[in-house]
Amino acid sequence: MSRIVVDIETVGKDFESLDKTTQEYLLRYAETE
C-alpha cells in the first residue's frame, strides 16, 4: 500500500486556527499511539 506522510509542523499555520472541517480532513487517516 502506498502512503503519503504529511508533517503538519512544517505548515506555517496553527492547527487550532484551522476550521473544524480541515482539522477532521487532516486527521482522518492519522495514526495515533
> CA distances (Å), 3 to each of 13, 15, 20, in order?
24, 22, 24
How far apart (Å, rounded) are the C-alpha atoms in residues 27 and 21? 10
Check: CB of residue 26 under 8 Å from CB of residue 4: no
Split into its structural domains, the chain has a count of 1
pTM, entire model: 0.51
Give the domain range for residue 7: 1-33
User: What per-residue confidence (pLDDT) applies to 20?
Assistant: 96
Q: Give just the sign of the alpha carbon dihedral 4, 14, 24, 21.
A: negative
Please provide residue 2's backbone torsions phi and psi, each rounded to the nearest 5 degrees.
Answer: -75, 145
Q: What is the pLDDT along the chain (33 residues), one digit of tens a residue?
A: 788 787 766 657 788 899 999 999 988 888 776
